[in-house]
Amino acid sequence: MPSRQELVYMLAACCLLALYCSPVAISLLLQSLPEDSRNDRPILGILAQETDFKSFQKLGSSYIAASYVKFIESAGARVVPVRLNRSEEEYNKIFQSINGILYPGGGVDLKTSEFSRVANIFYKKAVEAKEKGDYFPIWGTCLGHQLLTYLTSGENLLTWTNTDNFALPLNFTKDAKASKIFADFPNDLLQEMASEPVTSNYHFWSLSVKNFTNNEKLRSFYKIVTTNVHDKVEFISTMEAYAYPVYGVQWHPEKNPFEWKNETGIPHSRSAVKVTYYIADFLVNEARKNNHRFPSKKEETEALIYNYNPVFTGTFSSFEQAYFFD
């Protein structure tokens, strides 16, 4: 732990870096500071995706379910929607302005969708940035998790499991003990996660442990943290990269407190809601390790999700609310 005088010098250096240096250099210094000196105003991007069913198409060409926004905000971060059909130059500017990105669940194509194209841009930037010492976390949920496996391997290796509307406990692997995702979870909650159905599953396709193990690119990039079994297929339900801040979950941590469709696949127990809190807390703390920033307060304000109004969609969709974009 640095002394008070050392901390003053380091903070002074931060001020000089803010004036004269790049976000990468700033991020490197911040990672050497005590945790309470890091970025406490993190902003996470959430990637929009094409509206893939008719009831949404009349409201906008792309959307973000509001539960993902609430999920991020619940742990002390703000959200910027990352909209589709922008230039790579615009995405580079966004990348330099936010502190991480979330790829949500959904139903678009892993190869041909605009969602996939934009996700690939941020994925490549995050990997390149980490190799230069700039820590930029990526989180994938459900479709986002599947997309990460495609972006890493270059192949669609998913297997049909029809795991739609199921709440499941998690099967922790031997690598779970060294997992970053679950490092700060209380032991009693981990035990409940292993024995109670606290994870919400809404997916027809999964990455099987077999296909993962047989693919060298995936095997060398990610470790398996949890698995589940459905339709006689053992699939990966939680994974994290060895050397990069890249994380994927096949389940939906955002649904437990924020989605209220009356189905058995969304658990609302105290344990289930606590899982959501600890996952969100982990992701936001990862974003605190990054010090990208908007060029001005005005640009930051104009980019935030607060500029858009969520629409109540609970009467005709699985989401209580969603944000729509043209």
How far apart are alpha carbons 241 and 127 in whole angstroms? Answer: 11
Is residue 2 within 8 Å of residue 10, measured between CB atoms? yes
Tens of pLDDT, residue by residue over 149-179, are 999 999 999 999 999 999 999 999 999 989 9
Placement of tokens 């060398």 in the chain: 220
**What pLDDT shows up at residue 8?**
41
Please tell me the predicted confidence (pLDDT) of residue 53.
78
Query: 292 an active-site residue?
Result: no
Dihedral of CA atoms 109, 115, 259, 276 in degrees, nearest 10, equals: 110
The pLDDT of residue 39: 93
Spatial distance between the Cα atoms of 307 and 273, rounded to a whole number of angstroms: 28
What is the distance, to the nearest Å, from the Cα of residue 2 to the centroid of all Cα atoms in its chain? Answer: 32
CB within 8 Å of 43: residues ≥ 6 apart: 77, 78, 79, 80, 97, 98, 99, 287, 300, 304
Reply yes or no on whether 252 is catalytic: yes
> Is 186's pLDDT higher than 60?
yes
Position 228: which residue type?
Answer: N
- The answer to whether 312 touches 320, Cβ cutoff 8 Å, is yes
Could you read off the pLDDT of 132-149 as tens digits, one per residue?
999 999 999 999 999 999
Report the candidate in 145, 109, 144 with the shortest Cα–Cα distance to residue 228. Answer: 145
* Residue the block writes with tokens 């931060």: 14
What's the whole-number average pLDDT of the chain? 91
- pLDDT tens, residue by residue, 207-223: 999 999 999 999 999 99
Q: Which residues are within 8 A (CB) of 224 and not within 5 positions of it... i.e. 6 or more apart?
A: 173, 175, 209, 212, 236, 238, 239
Q: Which residue of the set 145, 203, 252, 292 is catalytic?
A: 252
Q: What pLDDT is stored for residue 10 in this prediction?
A: 52
At residue 1, does pLDDT exceed 70? no
- Name which of 60, 58, 41 is nearest 50 in CA terms: 60
- On the question of pLDDT at 180 being above 70, the answer is yes
Alpha-carbon span 270 to 259, nearest angstrom: 15
- For residues 120 and 47, give the distance between their C-alpha atoms in angstroms, rounded to a whole number: 11
| Beta-strand pair 171-172/43-47 | unpaired
> Which residues neighbour 291 within 8 Å (Cβ) at sequence distance 6 or greater?
23, 26, 27, 30, 38, 39, 99
Q: Is the pLDDT of residue 287 over 90?
A: yes
Closest CA to 39 of 300, 286, 299, 305: 286
Query: What interhelical angle do 114-131 and 88-95 show, nearest 10?
Result: 50
- Alpha carbons within 13 angstroms on the beta-carbon side of residue 102 total 35
**Which residue from 136, 221, 242, 131 is spatially nearest to 179, judged by alpha carbons?**
242
Phi, psi (degrees; rounded to nearest 5) at 240? -150, 150
Catalytic residue among 14, 15, 21, 142: 142
Residue type, 14: C
Phi/psi of residue 93, nearest 5 degrees: -65, -40
pLDDT digits (tens, 9 = 90+) for 92-103: 999 999 999 999
CATH 3.40.50.880 is the classification of domain 43-325:
yes
Q: What is the pLDDT of residue 115?
A: 98
Question: Model pTM?
Answer: 0.89
Q: What's the alpha-carbon Rg for the chain, to the nearest Å?
A: 19
Give domain limits for the chain: 1-38, 43-325
List, in order, residues 6 or more apart from 193 with CB less than 8 Å away.
Answer: 169, 170, 172, 185, 199, 271, 275
DSSP state of 117: H
**pLDDT for 299 beyond 70:** yes
